[in-house]
Amino acid sequence: MEVIQLLISGVSQGCVYGLIALGFVLIYKATEMVNFAQGDIMMIGAFIAFTFINLLGWPFIWGFLAAVTVMGLLGALTERLLLRPMIGEPHFAVLMLTIGLGFVLRTIAGERWGSEPKTLDLPWGSAVWRFGDVTVGGDDLAVVGGTLALCGLLYLFFRFTRLGIAMQAASQNQLAAFYVGIPVKRVFGLVWALAAVLAACAGVLAPGGVIDPNIGFIGIKAFAAAIVGGLGSLPGAIIGGLLVGLSEQFAGRYLWPGFSDVSAYVLLLAMLMIRPEGLFAAMQQKKV
C-alpha cells in the first residue's frame, strides 16, 4: 500500500517536473539556449494566476486562461528584449543571463506579492478520495490529467499545425528553415511564449497550490529531469520528470533522511556518467 501511495505522489510531483522540463526542452531544441529561469517563470505564472483568481475573484477557468495568455506575452517579450541580442553568443553567456533573470524575477515577485506563502483557490481544493489505505488528492488527479492533456495538445500542435511544423523545422536546422521562408526569429519568440505557457500551467497545477517567490528553485530539479530524459527530446522530458519525482519519493522513504533532496542530482550525475546524452538521445556524433 505504501508503495502505491509513494507511486501516486511521485507521479504527481514528477508531472510538475516534466511540465517545466518540457519548457526547457522546447527552448533548447528550437534556439539551443538554456533557460535556467524556467522555474522562476513558473513561479511568476502561479502568482499571476493567484492575482486573477484570488485577488480579482475571477472564476478559475477564466483566471487560468488569462494567466496563461499573460505568461505567453511575457515569454515572447523576454525573448525579444533579453535573448534576441544574445543570438550567436556562447551557451555559457545565455546560461548566466537566464540565471540573472531568475534572480530578478524572484525579487520582483517578492516586491509585488510578498514573500509569505500563498494558497491558490483551486476548484478541486483539498478533495481527497480514499481507496483502502491509499489516498488520492484532487490535485494529484488534476496535475496528471493536465499533463496528459497538455502532452496530447502539444502532439497535435507539432504534428498538424503550420506553426508547429515551422517550429520543428526551425529547431532541426535554422539555416534551412530560414531559406524555405520560415520567419525563424518570430518562431523563436513563439517558442519562448509556448514555454512560458507550459510553465504557467505547471505553476497552477503543482500539487498543494502553495506559492511563494522561492518555488522556482524546483526548476533546477526539473532541469536535471530534462537532462536525464535527454535534452532535446519532448517525451524524454516527461519521462525524466517522472523518474526524478519517483526517485525523490522513494529515496526519502527508504534511504536516509535528507537524501530526497539530493536524489535528483545523484540520478543526474549517474546518468551523465553512464549515458551523457540522456535516455532519448537527440545528439549525434560529428565526424571531423
Binding site for other proteins (CB under 8 A): 32, 34, 82, 85-93, 95-97, 99-104, 106-108, 110-111, 115, 213, 220, 223-224, 227, 231-232, 256-259, 261-262, 265-266, 268-269, 272-273, 276, 282-286, 288
Question: Please, is 273 exposed, middle or buried when counting C-beta atoms within 10 Å of its C-beta (0-12, 13-18, 19+)?
Answer: exposed
Least Å from the CB of residue 111 to other proteins:
4
CB of 116 vs other proteins, minimal distance in Å: 10
| Shortest distance (Å) from residue 16 CB to other proteins | 19
Using CA atoms, how far residue 123 sits from 53, 55, 60, 139, in Å, is 11, 15, 7, 10
Residue 170: name the closest of 161, 180, 160, 156 by CA: 180
DSSP 281: -
Nearer to other proteins, 103 or 254 (CB): 103
Which element (helix H / strand E) includes 19?
helix 2-31
Cell numbers for 246: 519517483
Cβ-Cβ contacts under 8 Å for 235 (sequence gap 6 or more): 229, 280
165/255 with CB nearer other proteins: 255
Q: Which is nearer to other proteins, 108 or 141 (CB)?
A: 108
Which of 59, 100 has the CB closer to other proteins?
A: 100
Residue 258: CB minimum distance to other proteins, A:
5
HSE-up (13 A, CA, CB side) for residue 150: 26
Task: Work out the burial of residue 178: count CB atoms within 10 Å of its CB; fewer than 13 is exposed, 13-18 middle, 19 or more buried.
Answer: middle
Distance CA 244, CA 259 (A): 13
Q: How far is the CB of 149 from other proteins (least distance, A)?
A: 29
Residue 145 beta carbon to other proteins: minimum distance, rounded to whole angstroms: 30
The smaller minimum CB distance to other proteins, of residues 160 and 256, is found at 256
Nearer to other proteins, 57 or 284 (CB): 284
